[in-house]
Structure 1
Amino acid sequence: MTPETNSTQSSHVIEGVTVPVTTPMTLERQPDAALLGAQFERIAAAQVDTIMLLGTNGEGATVRTEVAGSFCVDAAALWRETRGPSARVLVAVFGSGTDQTLDAAHAILPARPDAVVVAPPHYFIHTEQELAAHFSAMRVLNAPIVAYNIPRYSNNPISLSLFEQLFAMPHIVGMKDSGGSKELIERAAQLSDTRHDFAVSQGNEKMLDWGLANGARGVTPGVANLAPAACRELVEAVAGKDMARAAAIQARLTALTGIHAIRPGVAAMKAAMSLLGLCPPTPGAPFAPYDEEELARLRLLLGDFTDILSAPLLSGERA
């Protein structure tokens, strides 16, 4: 059943809330889009239109190219069926070089993404000129490109001067920033005033309200998997200039990132989602699922957030 759609769908592909969905995996650690049903229903119920597949939170860099395409096709179809006409789908692609990134992008194009989110190459450190060439090469995809600034994992940050080069490329329509540079967000917002088809999404979970108040047109926080409605309410609070309300929601979401204090990263989010009955706990190899002691600590922590979680905690020790 398709839920009631949001009649005020945002105009830009990364405006509003984007949920960087987890990638559910079988016990054999194979991505399985059929397992996304409960998660998608909760996101749709929160009146959120946009998902991102295979992002960092979705373990995209660990998913084999030969299976990524079929997973994204099935996942995109399920999301569009679940959310209805307002549904939007982004897909992130990674690679240690330009050719590998293009291979990954071509594999997921049959999913008809509204935009392809492209990270800088990882492993080697590259010059600014090389990084500009990498993003320039993405024009052959004939799809809107969102640059993904994630220096923690790429070791190739998008600097201010590099951003200005990317902004001049017509095929690049936005940037998802997880680096946390206030200067970069402010400069991007300033330039965006001169190009209305370009937008910035704040990915730093502890700076969502600040980013929105300073020119970001959307947010892409990992915690949106757990609390999508709260993330939407934060966006609405900033848009309505109710900064006290926004600060209160931000404080709750920042506290929710405490799940990563147990054992940070992909396994933490998978375990939390499993305790809500929304995703199997299995992460991609070589990540290990949470053990019983970690799950007990996580369950205790999540018990303090029942007011914003998208689903109730399951009974028992393991989902």
Structure 2
Amino acid sequence: MTKEAYVALVTCFNEDETHNYEATRAQVRRQIEAGNNILCAGTNGDFSALTFDEKVRLTDEVVSEAKGKCKVIVNAGMPATFETVKLAKEFDRIGVDGIAVIAPFFIACTQDGLERHYLTVADAVNTPIYLYDIPARTQNHIEPETARKLSSHPNIAGIKDSGGQQETLEAYMQVGKDVEGFDVYSGPDHLVHWALQNGAAGCISGLGNVMPEVLAKIVSCFNAGDEAGAAAAQEIYGNFRKDLYGLGFPPAMVKRALWVMDHSVGASRQPALLPDPEQDKQVEALLKKYELIK
């Protein structure tokens, strides 16, 4: 099976916090050129700061720019099943390749509640649904056994694991091995190569916004049977991750590093952290160290 790389694409804003759709389109083109697919409106895409209509417009812009040159998955997850279904139906209409559904946040859910949530969404659309587990942000965790139960639904195609726990990722991948058509995508940037070696269908990475070519190289080398090349690319990727995330909150640092490289991406909407000139100097030094800028 050919493995795939997705980048959790940033959403670009103007100085007044309105959307800069042209800048977002430019980021789509950049990822296509590197050889990556796209996850739209995810954690690194400021999805929680976007309105319903903005998510629909953003997805339409990304799909229009991609023009079938890469796959596009979009996150529809919201706290309530009702709004999640409404969003999923809009994305279904636009014509995306998959709909990721982040676990409900703010609302505490039982595993039974999570099952009902995902089954309702999967029943409502024709586009394949991907579970999206990131308990550090949602406070709700999709247990591996729950993923196994949900995998029997014909329209639930897999899961994105952003929990960062290797043991949980292993359990999800066992479901993927046992259930045909249930694909597991690794979210943690430091586990890309390991996950590919152990049965993941691919990865969905935020850091790929800053290092798209390195991410693509991990996956392309692996697909070509070049384990040494994949390991070397992963080492660069992992080292940069450690250095960059050592400066602050990961999604914010990804957006800020990209801003240092290209101001058109803008800052995140408030109340995200304000730009810090001293931190920007540290980011700039890192980007030079890794030869991402001159």
Q: Per-residue deviation at 1:212? A: 0.8
Partner of 2:29: 41
Q: Distance in 2 between matches of 1:239 and 1:284?
A: 38
Gaps of 5+ in 2: none
Q: Per-residue deviation at 1:133? A: 0.7
Which of 267, 273, 277 is matched with 1:288 structurally? 273
* Residue 122 of structure 1 pairs with residue 105 of structure 2: yes
2:247–2:279 CA contact under 8 A, matched in 1: yes
1:268–1:290 CA contact under 8 A, matched in 2: no
1:271–1:289 CA contact under 8 A, matched in 2: no
Amino acid of the structure 2 residue aligned with 1:224: G
Q: Per-residue deviation at 1:240? A: 4.1
Q: Distance in 2 between matches of 1:146 and 1:262?
A: 31
Partner of 2:173: 189
Which of 261, 268, 285 is matched with 1:300 structurally? 285
59-68 or 101-110, which deviates more:
101-110
Q: Distance in 2 between matches of 1:145 and 1:278?
A: 34
Q: Distance in 1 between matches of 2:100 and 2:87?
A: 11
Q: Distance in 2 between matches of 1:266 and 1:181?
A: 18
Alignment of 1:118-197 (within 5 A): 118-138=101-121, 139-197=123-181
1:22–1:270 CA contact under 8 A, matched in 2: yes
Q: Distance in 2 between matches of 1:75 and 1:45?
A: 15
Amino acid of the structure 2 residue aligned with 1:273: L
Partner of 2:207: 223
Give me the identity figure in percent: 24
Q: Per-residue deviation at 1:183? A: 3.4
Which of 219, 223, 227 is matched with 1:239 structurally? 223
Which of 250, 264, 278 is matched with 2:234 structurally? 250
Which of 55, 60, 68 is matched with 1:73 structurally? 60
2:129–2:156 CA contact under 8 A, matched in 1: yes
Question: 1:138-195 CA distances to partner (integer Å, 9 max, x unpaired)?
Answer: 1212221011011111111111211111111111101111113333333433333454
Q: Distance in 2 between matches of 1:46 and 1:250?
A: 16
Partner of 2:260: 275
Question: 1:42-101 CA distances to partner (integer Å, 9 max, x unpaired)?
Answer: 2122122x1111000111121111221112111210122xxxx44211101221221232
2:193–2:234 CA contact under 8 A, matched in 1: yes
2:79–2:104 CA contact under 8 A, matched in 1: yes
The secondary structure found in structure 2 opposite 1:207 is helix
RMSD: 2.0
2:5–2:215 CA contact under 8 A, matched in 1: yes
* Residue 102 of structure 1 pairs with residue 82 of structure 2: no
204-213 or 234-243, which deviates more:
234-243
Q: Per-residue deviation at 1:41? A: 2.8
Q: Distance in 1 between matches of 2:57 and 2:25?
A: 16
* Residue 20 of structure 1 pairs with residue 34 of structure 2: no
TM-score, structure 2 normalization:
0.91
Gaps of 5+ in 1: 1-9, 314-319
1:176–1:200 CA contact under 8 A, matched in 2: yes
Q: Distance in 1 between matches of 2:150 and 2:11?
A: 29
